[in-house]
Chain A
Amino acid sequence: MIDALQFEFIRNALLAGLLASIICGVVGTLIVVNRLVFLSGGIAHSAYGGIGLAFFMGWPYMLGATSFAFASSMVMAAVSLKSKQRADTIIGVMWSVGMATGILLLDMTPGYNVDLMSYLFGSILSVPGSELISMGGLTAAILLLIFFFYDDLLAMSYDEEFAQVRGVAVRRLYFMLIGTVAVTVVIVVQVVGLILVIALLTIPPYIAEKYTKSLLQMMMLSCLLGMGFIAAGLWGAYRYDLTSGAAIIFVAGAGFFLSLFVDKMVSMRKKRLWLKAHE
């Protein structure tokens, strides 16, 4: 790996991965504890409609994707507050319709089209320096926003109703959180791809939740786990000439199953010790 660091694209990829794991660790933790995984998937997929729209209209990519994702996330947030019971169905509808809209709009756009694969798996090995700077600025902005409202977000995430009784403006905070998720997803997607974003948003927080005692610890452990997965995945992709995004997801998935296995072993060991003590 050390000799690989002489290449600029590897250094950029590691830096992009570092930023992605920080932002995904923090936002992903909030997504997992607020049970917003499906909603985040919906936002990410419907953002593809925005990409299609941007190409069709000749707008810049970021403008189309961000505004489309933001608008659909606000609709999803309103729906999930209004009718909790059927929110998942409506998110599922928006998920597929958004994606279909994007593909149809790209079909109708003359000339060269972006292909779906690069959107799904990203291209972490070809991140230009300029994109790193904008990604870094955005990561800082989102961290600032989340830590500004941290105490309120903590109260809402554990018990929405109680937070409201304590005087937290839960509705506004919820919309803010979903909006943050939308912006996070769009920005990180263009660097590491849609599937990797979902993996980074869910797998590290899920593992971290079991071994930490506070939301802040969970965020920090998620960031570290994400960094580990990305570094290991990039090394594997470089060493064995594999697709980088898929390699990172594979490592994260292996970590996920490893943590399940370790938990099982620990509980079996406890049971054995108990049986021994009670012989």
Chain B
Amino acid sequence: MNIVSIAEPIVEISNLCYSNDGIDILHDINLTVNKGDFIAIIGPNGGGKTTLLKLILGLLKPTRGTITIKENTRTRSGASAIGYVPQHVNHNLSFPATALDVVLMGTHKPGRRFRFGNTAAEKEDARETLAKLGIADCADRKIIALSGGQRQRVLIARALVSHPKLLVLDEPTASIDTKGQTEFYELLVELNKEQTILMVSHDLLVVSKYVKSIACLNRRMHYHQSFGSSGEVLDAFYSCSVEEICPVGVISKGIPDSSGGRA
């Protein structure tokens, strides 16, 4: 686990609280996402994972505390500092659009009027992004004619095409089979070489093989900048879940020379 010498924060969350209808959903969250990070947020259903993502994306407003997002230098609005990949890939399938069109929606800028279609440069950029994800041949097919895994890649391409500083994924493997998941995580590791990634996941066991750090979220957050991982130990403790205890902390305690973990 290399710690980047000069940490360049992209997202800074401090003392964040969010409540809805008097129910505390997130309590006193502090998290800094630095350039080059690959963070997985894990936690039980109802732990506030998706809420936290929505807060970071600006779809919800915090009840208390602040979320600061360092804006992209190349764009004025904060909107394109974050590329977002939603959970559901099988949504609005019969919509008349090709894979390329969907990717091009990632270049969308609000406020452009009487605009039909995209510039040649944008299309070229979108095709390159699809090629980078290995699905260049799908560009001109309608989204309904793609497989689930291909659609997933199209949605990642849509998030990447605006060159965001941070890629945010909400349970990205929910609709992919096991083989597809492995390929998918390897793709993320590859992307992480030049891309900061924040991902919500249920599957601690799988993500621990790929991510650099883990944040356990169940109303409160335990953040593990680095952790000593071992598949077997994780396996043993996975059944305990994150309901009461934070599994990564337990795992790290179990490993004598683990550096960053804390209970």
A165 touching B79 in the complex, CB below 8 Å, given contacts A150-B115, A150-B116:
yes
Provide the bound-state CA to CA distance between A167 and B72, in Å: 15
Answer yes or no: B195 CB below 8 A from chain A CBs: no
**Shortest beta-carbon distance from A116 to chain B in Å:** 35
Size bracket, chain A contacts: 20 to 34
Q: Which residues of A contact B117 (CB under 8 A)?
A: 216
Residue of B nearest to A205 (CB): B96
Q: What A residues does B142 contact at CB under 8 A?
A: 213
Taking the closest CB of chain B, its distance from the CB of A166, in whole angstroms, is 5
Partner of B79, one of A150, A166, A213, A215: A166
Task: Report the bound CA distance from A208 to B82 in whole Å.
Answer: 35
**Interface size band for B:** 20 to 34
Instruction: Tell me whether A169 and B110 are in contact in the complex, defined as CB-CB below 8 angstroms, given that A159-B105, A161-B59, A164-B59 are known contacts.
Output: yes
Of chain A, the residue at the smallest CB distance from B102 is A158
Q: What is the interface of chain A mostly: helix, strand, loop, or mixed?
A: helix
Give chain A residues whose Cβ lies under 8 Å from the Cβ of B112.
151
Q: Is B86 an interface residue (CB 8 A)?
A: yes
Compute how far the CA of A74 lies from the CA of B48 in the bound complex, rounded to whole angstroms.
32
User: Are A213 and B110 in contact, CB atoms less than 8 angstroms apart?
Assistant: no
Given A209-B94, A213-B96, answer yes or no on A166-B108 (Cβ-Cβ < 8 Å): yes
Contact A155–B115 (Cβ < 8 Å): no
Q: Is A214 an interface residue (CB 8 A)?
A: yes
Interface, chain A (partner B; CB < 8 A) = 33, 147-152, 154-155, 157-159, 161-169, 208-210, 212-218
| Interface CB pairs A-B, < 8 A, 20 | A33-B92, A148-B113, A149-B113, A151-B108, A152-B108, A155-B105, A158-B92, A159-B91, A162-B86, A165-B59, A166-B105, A166-B108, A166-B109, A166-B110, A168-B108, A208-B96, A209-B96, A215-B95, A216-B117, A218-B96
Q: Which 9 A-B pairs have the closest CB atoms?
A: A167-B79, A151-B115, A167-B110, A168-B110, A218-B96, A166-B108, A155-B108, A212-B96, A165-B84
